[in-house]
Amino acid sequence: MTTQKNQWELFGFDLSKMGRLLKLGVRQLLYDESSWFASTFQPLLWIKADHQWEGWTAVGRGKSTSEIDSKDTPKANRFYAATVPADEVLFKSIRLPKSEEFYLSEAMSLEIAVSSPFSEAEQIAGWKIVGRDQFALDVLLAISSRSAAENALTAWAQENARLQDAGNAALCAWHPNGHLIEFPNYVDPAREVLYLRRLRKTASLVATAAVSMCFILALPVVSSAYRAERLRDHNELIRDEAAVVDRSIEKLHRQRAALDLIIEDFESRPDYSARLESVAATAPDGTFLEAMKISDAEIEVTGYSTNAAEYMRLLTEQDQYTNVSARSAFLREQRTGLERFTIDWTFVPEGG
C-alpha cells in the first residue's frame, strides 16, 4: 500500500488546512451561538409556537410577540419558518473531541448516513453546535423526511395565508430543550443575503469612520508638518537675509576701520590753520609775506619788510617757535625800499 504525502507544507504547517481553518473561523464568527455579529445583525427568523411568535437568530431566541403584525415587528425584511412536528424528527446528541471541529461536516455526514431511518433521497438533516468546552463539542443532530417537510410547509402556508409578506418560509426543527435547527435544503437565501448586506454596510461605516478618524488624527500632523515646512523655508530666508546683513555689517566695520585710520591720521597731523594764523599774527605792520613752505614742523617764509631784523627778533621771542634763522642777509630793494628776507624756523610741538 502506497502512502501519499501532502507536499503543501510551510515550516511544518499543513497548508491544506488553511481553507478549513478559514471556513471554521467565519462560521464561528458569524453563526456560532456566542456570535455578537449574529445577535446584532442577523435578521430574525419568526416561528409560531403555541399561538406565540418568536424571533430567532443563530444565537438563540430573541423577541417574542403574540401578534406578528404589531408595531414591534415591522414588515420590512421579515422572514418566517415552519417547524416539522417533533414526533417526525429524529434528534441525536453527539459529543465530539474539539479537534474534530475541523472535520465536523464530514463527521455529521457520516453520522447522518449511519443514524438516518430514511433513504438518502428522502432524508433531510441539519445540525448545530449547542455547547463547547475546553476539550469537546456538543452537537445536536436533527433528521427528518422530505414528506414531513412538505407537509409542514403546506400546513404553515394554509394557517398563515393572511401574511402577504410571508413569501417562501424556511424549515426547521425545534428541540424541546430550546434549540432551533435549520434544515440547509429549506433555508431562505434572502435572509442570508440581507445578513451579509448588513455586515458589509456596517463594515463600510466602520471603515469610513476609521478613515475619518485617521484623517482627523492626521490633520494636525499634516498641519504641523506644513507649518514646519513653512517655518523651515522662512528660517532659510531669514538665514539668507542675516547673511546679507552680516556681510553689510562686516563691510561697515571695514569702512569704520578705514575711517578711524583716516581720522587718526588726520588728528596726528599738525593744525596748519592755527600755525598759519600764528604766522600772520606775528608779522608786524610793514611786513608782507610773499611765499611760505611748510614741511612737518619746519617752515620757510619769504617776504618783504620795512625792518626784517625786527621781524626776526619778534619770531625768536615767540614760545611756539624755535631754531629761527635767516637763509641769507637781508637786502633792501631800491625800487620799494623794503628788505627782502627768507627766514626758517621750527614749530614747537603742542604740549612740548
One digit per residue, pLDDT tens: the chain, 352 residues?
444 455 556 555 566 667 777 777 787 788 887 888 888 888 888 888 777 888 888 888 888 787 777 666 666 678 888 999 989 999 999 999 988 888 888 888 998 988 889 998 899 999 999 888 888 989 999 999 999 999 998 888 888 877 755 557 889 998 888 889 999 988 888 888 888 998 899 999 999 999 998 888 888 888 888 888 889 998 999 999 999 999 999 999 999 999 888 888 777 777 778 888 888 888 888 888 889 898 888 889 999 988 888 888 888 888 888 888 888 888 888 888 898 999 998 988 776 5
Are 98 and 135 within 8 A, CB to CB?
A: yes
Looking at residue 165, its amino acid is D
Q: What is the DSSP letter of 349?
A: P
Residues 30 and 57: their CA atoms lie apart, in Å, by: 11
Nearest C-alpha neighbor of 130 from the set 273, 20, 33: 33
The bridge status of strand 170-174 relative to strand 136-145 is unpaired
User: Nearest to residue 182, comparing CAs of 192, 197, 195?
Assistant: 192
pTM assigned to the model: 0.58
CATH among 3.90.226.10, 3.90.1150.10, 3.40.50.300, 3.30.1360.100 for 272-347: 3.30.1360.100
3-state secondary structure of 225: helix
φ, ψ (nearest 5 deg) of residue 196: -65, -35
Determine phi and psi for 345, rounding to 5 degrees: -155, 175
Question: Which is nearest to 338 in space by CA: 287, 274, 271, 284?
Answer: 287
Q: Are 296 and 270 in contact (CB under 8 A)?
A: yes
Residue 131 backbone dihedrals phi, psi, to 5 degrees: -170, 155
Pairing between strand 321-326 and 339-347? antiparallel
